[in-house]
Structure 1
Amino acid sequence: MAVSVIPTTLSWRPVDDNNINDLFTHRSSISTPRLFRRLSTVVCSSSLKSPKSTEETRELLKQYGLDPDEFLSDPTPSKTRRNKDQQKSGRGGKQVAPPQEQAKPRETHKLLQVLGGKARRKKLLSPKSMDVRPMMEVVKGATFGILQAAGGCPTSLRPGRWLDLYSGTGSVGIEAISRGCSEVHFVEMDPWVVSNVLRPNLEWTGFLDNSVIHTVRVETYLERARESAGKDGPFDYISVTPPYTQVDYKILMNQISESSVIGDDSFVVVEYPFRTDMLETCGCLVKLADRRFGRTHLAIYGPKWAQKKRRS
């Protein structure tokens, strides 16, 4: 429905006895003398669908100094506004999720190093992000100091097999090979970490031939070890360094203690967070040490004969 605006004029004249009953006089002519005149606007509506009537209306509006586009154009939202509204609500009023940002490629850096043994001071790769949390070097140094003393040899580890659960960068298992272990099994479920961090670290240190990598979940590996009990025998050393917020330590330690991976002469190293209750035993093993490093705690379990030797 188009809108037509027709301006008209109202003229006024003094009131006297002759025109007392005719106070206002409407005139369409603008040539009659008058004391005061003002412009009045009368709004009329019509269809004005044909191009001819529309053009005439535009000319009429121009004659009276009005903008034809302001009166004849339908107010419509701008294209930019419509696009924003469509992105917010979507068709049919459904909420449209914003496009997901492309994930940044994962990167590595060399902040870790081997602390002792054959590969001492060699730098190790680790992810820049916080998906993998390597054992702090001060904790790692304390761990191997306790294990070496408990085994009766302060300068190196007793020869044996090591199981590195939640291995991540492999820094704990690599430290074990560097200090005397003959073989290490690494259990890490992240394929990117295995191919871009763990394996390159083993190649760089020259320990790839002494290593076995299991790209599976720790729970899956322990379940398989239970099914194949007696095949390879228990491990001499086991390190447990899980992501703190993603495991239940009570369930995890119970699963390890009932697994075939530990034996009467095994040592178990567990890194756990502040305010976590750890039992005094792990299967047939007893707690040899419990240390605190800020918000990180370190518990080491071992055979009873190691406990006596540690106290003497």
Structure 2
Amino acid sequence: MAVQSSHTAFSFLSPLRSHSIVPETSLLSFKPSLVGYPFTATNRRRPFIITVSSKSNNELSVDKKRQLLEQYGLNPDEFLSEPSPKTKKRREQSKSGTGKQVLVEEPKPPRETHKLLQVVGGTARRKKLLSPKSMDVRPMMEVVKAAAFGILQAAGGCPASLRPGRWLDLYSGTGSVGIEAISRGCSEVHFVEMDPWVVSDVLRPNLEWTGFLDASVIHTVRVESFLERAEHFLGEDGSFDYISVTPPYAVVDYSILMDQISKSSIVGENTFILVEYPFRTDMLDSCGCLVKISDRRFGRTHLAIYGPKWALKKKYVEKTKRKQEKLDLLREVEISAS
């Protein structure tokens, strides 16, 4: 489309001739002052030229703009239609320079606690313990905890209480397992928990409430890091007598975790390891030099206990002894009945 321009006027080819789109400002902002004719005396066809001047300051009304656009064969709706809301918003943002607004995340509600747990046995029996209301921390069920300590006490040769020793509570959370251990006779417990809020608002208050803070050591670190640097955290204290492993089911690979524990310096020849694991999880029959002495199911929760070989032999002897006692009792009943 040819354009002829001067200092005060602009010329455009007619759309009737070239079917080109005339700029909106050329038709809506100016008044036509001169119209050329498409034919000359020689009957030679020439371009139809419209000359508009910018000298006039009078603004055209919408109706006149429509008439003018229709006069030259243009669709007024293409030039006079209202922009969409999105287009208006985009134009406003481009003018103000704001662009896309960044959404600000709402602050998370404060985490709360409640007292639903309690110490099952020992010196702090029936004392209530704090636990988070959310599902971030999953404490061991009381029935599982009672069964676990019953097995450990029997395996250690002292059914009434645990033999004195050091306990390591991995993934301690509320600290209910380690607190139970101190209540039943352990001399020292190391708690490993990575969540600072759980440590400050749940674990430490529970230790203060039960009076076991002086017998406790808290490590606010990931379990994997603790196992890798166990010598750094523990110094020359050596291995533990008891280790409890109660991790969150969904985020732990038990084969990798148990392999890491078995190779760590925290495990000794006489160590007992208590492992809580979910249904349909394959657990090995041994963990380093330790053997599995018990594997029980409580609904969807399983409890495996590893210990030294002498504990397994002792368990077998006790089981045989109980069986023999039952047989002797049945014989006495038969003799008395006859």
Normalising by the residue count of structure 2, what TM-score does the alignment of the two structures yield? 0.67
Aligned partners of 1:116 and 1:175 also within 8 Å: yes
Q: Paired residue for 1:221?
A: 226
Cα distance between partner residues in 1 of 2:63 and 2:55: 11
Instruction: Mark the CA change 1:75 to 1:122 in structure 2 (over 3 Å): closer, same or farther.
Output: same
Q: Could you say if the C-alpha distance between residues 299 and 54 of structure 1 is closer, same or farther in structure 2, counting changes exceeding 3 Å? A: same
- What is the match of residue 252 of structure 1? 257
Look up the match of 1:283.
288
Change beyond 3 A, Cα 1:247–1:56: closer
Q: In 2, Cα distance between the equivalents of 1:132 and 1:140?
A: 16
- Deviation for aligned residue 1:102: 2.2
2:224 aligned with 1:197: no
Which of 118, 122, 128 is matched with 2:133 structurally? 128
Q: Is the 8 A contact 1:111 1:124 kept in 2?
A: yes
Q: 2:164 aligns to what?
A: 159
* Matched residue SS, 1:301: strand
Residue 110 of structure 1 corresponds to 115
Are 1:184 and 2:189 an aligned pair? yes
Q: 1:279 to 1:51 in 2, by over 3 A?
A: same
Q: Distance in 2 between matches of 1:159 and 1:166?
A: 22
Counterpart CA distance in 2 for 1:190 and 1:291 is: 30
Q: Is the 8 A contact 2:279 2:302 kept in 1?
A: yes
Deviation at 1:179, TM superposition (A): 0.8
CA contact (8 A) 1:229 1:260 kept: no
Query: Does the 8 A contact of 2:226 with 2:233 survive in 1?
Result: no
Q: Structure 1 unaligned segments of length 5 or more: list them.
A: 4-45, 62-69
2:89 to 77, 82, 94: 82
Distance 2:303 2:164 in 1: 23
- Alignment of 1:292 with 2:280, yes or no, is no
Offset at residue 99 of structure 1 (A): 3.8
- The answer to whether the 8 Å contact 2:182/2:188 transfers is yes
What is aligned with 1:8?
none
Give the conservation status (yes or no) of the 8 Å contact 1:151–1:306. yes
Counterpart of 1:15?
none
Rounded to whole Å, the distance in 2 between the matches of 1:49 and 1:56 is 20
Query: TM-score, length-normalised on structure 1?
Result: 0.72
Matches within 5 A, 1:26-37: none
Task: For 2:83, give the aligned amino acid.
Answer: T
Deviations 1:160-183 (A, max 9, x none): 110001111100000000111111
Q: What is the CA distance between 1:278 and its match in structure 2?
A: 0.9
Aligned to 1:12: none
Assess, with a 3 A threshold, how the Cα gap between structure 1 residues 73 and 268 changes in structure 2: closer, same or farther. same
2:46 is matched with none
**8 Å contact kept, 1:234–1:260:** yes
The residue that corresponds to 1:100 in the other structure is 105
1:97 deviation in Å? 6.6
**Structure 1 contact 269–300 (Cα < 8 Å) conserved:** yes
Tell me which of the two structures has the higher relative contact order, counting C-alpha pairs closer than 8 angstroms and 6 or more residues apart.
1
The change in CA–CA distance for 1:229 and 1:136 in structure 2 (over 3 A counts) is closer
* RMSD across aligned positions (CA): 3.6
Give the CA deviation at 1:130.
Answer: 1.5
Tell me the CA shift for residue 103 of structure 1. 1.8
- Find the aligned partners of 1:116 and 1:268 in 2 and give their Cα distance: 20
Q: Deviations over 1:95-139 (max 9, x none)?
A: 877443322221111111111111111111111111111111111
